[in-house]
Structure 1
Amino acid sequence: MVIVGTLSTIWIAQKAAVSFFFLPAQFVLMNPLSMILFVALLIGAAVKRRDREWHPRLFICGMAAIMGPSFGRLLPAPLFMYSMLTAAFIGMIAFPVAGIVRDKLRYGRVHPAWWFGLGSILLLQSATETLGRSAIAGAIYARAVVGTPGARVPGLSYQRPPFPIAS
C-alpha cells in the first residue's frame, strides 16, 4: 500500500494533475507520510492485538490517518479552496476525538491510545503544513517530476482552479 500509494502520488504529480487546492510539493509529501503513519499505527495495533484496550483504538487512529483523500473527495473544494488540507484534517481527527469523548463518557477517563493516535495525526498535519511548504519539499517535488509535464508546474505555488474566481 505504501509503495503503490507513493507511486500513484508521484504519477499524479508527474502528469501535472495535482488538485488546485494543494501545493504540488505538499501533495507529494502528504500522501506518503499519511500511509507511513497508517502502517506504523497498524503495526502497533497488530503488536497489541491481544490487548482489547489498545488494539481497536490504534486501528481506528490508523484508519483515520489515511482518510484525508476520502474527505478531499467528499468536501466541497470550491468552498474551502486553499484550506482544503485543514478541512480534511478536521475530518480525520473526528475519529479519535469521537473515541476520546466516548471513553470519557463511558469510563470517566480517556485511554492513552487515543492520545497517542491523535498526537500522531497532529504531527502528520504539522509536518504536512510546515515541511510541505518548505524548500525541501520543493526540491523533492522537482526531483520527482523532472522530465515530465509536472516539471512545468511550480511545486510551491497553488494552481489556478478550473473555474473563475470572483474578485
Structure 2
Amino acid sequence: MILKSEVEKEKRIMRPICMAHVPLLALIDEKCFASDLCWSADLFRSVLETGGWGEFLMLAEMPIGFYLCRSVAGETEILTLGILPEFQGKGLGKYLMESLFKGAKSYKAEEIFLEVEESNFAARRLYQNSGFKILGRRADYYGKGRDAFVMGFRPVWPE
C-alpha cells in the first residue's frame, strides 16, 4: 500500500499527451475503469486527431494518471480522467484538476462540463470540491440503470 505521505514526497510532473502515448493511455484507462467503460486505443487516437488535449500525471517519472479534454467555442468538456487505483485517495485528483483548469484557461473556456456516473461518489466529490455543480441527469448513459450526472463549472479566470 502506498501512503499519502510517500506520494507527497515524490515529485509530481504534468506532461502533455501526444499520439505516441495512445497505447499507454489505453493501458492506464483499462486499470482505472470497469471493462465496459474503458476506452479503446482507437477512441483515444480519434479524440487526439480531432483536437483533443490532455496531460499525464507523472510521479517519480511514472505515469499514474491522466485527463483528456476537448475545447470548442468557449466550452471545455472533460472526456475522461483517471488515476491508477493504488494512487487514488491521496490528493492527486486535486492536482490533476488544477492542471486541467490551467489548460482550459489557455483555451479561454467559459464553461467546463463532464458526465460522471451517479454511483461514482469519489469522482463526484472531486468535481464538487473543484467547483462543479450538477446540471442534469442522463438516464442509462452508462448502460441500463446506470445514469450519469452532467456537471458544469463556470470559471472566473484571474487577469
TM-score (norm 1): 0.29
1 or 2, which has the higher strand percentage?
Answer: 2
Structure number having the greater helix percentage = 1
TM-score (norm 2): 0.30
- Which structure is higher in RCO with an 8 Å CA cutoff and minimum separation 6? 1
